[in-house]
Amino acid sequence: MHMVKRGRPPGMQKWGLDSEFLQSGRPNEPADVHSIQISDGTSENTFFFDSADKFKQWLNGHHSFTDLYGFVALPDLASVSVWLPKGE
């Protein structure tokens, strides 16, 4: 599936977020998050991260999100928050 981006200024794409984690995952346990995936629906902007360090490195170069959607928002945001502790 490809999203249509016509008429949108650069950096205004809608991005999707998904994460994979242990169903029995423990709070504040980064090892219980398997991966985080982010995409705007195009093959050139589809990213898979299997470590917090790779995810942080990618985020440092992508500060222009305007819309970010989660597959199941609360668990996906919990995965992000475990991989990005406060202050990082």
pLDDT at 68: 81
pLDDT tens-digit readout, 39-86: 988 899 999 999 999 999 998 887 777 788 887 888 888 898 999 877
- Inform me whether the pLDDT recorded for 24 exceeds 50: yes
Q: What is the mean pLDDT of residues 2-28?
A: 71
Q: How far apart are CA 12 and CA 69, in angstroms?
A: 13
- For the chain, the domains span 15-22+31-37+49-88
Q: How far apart are CA 50 and CA 64, in angstroms?
A: 22
Tokens of 25: 């995952």
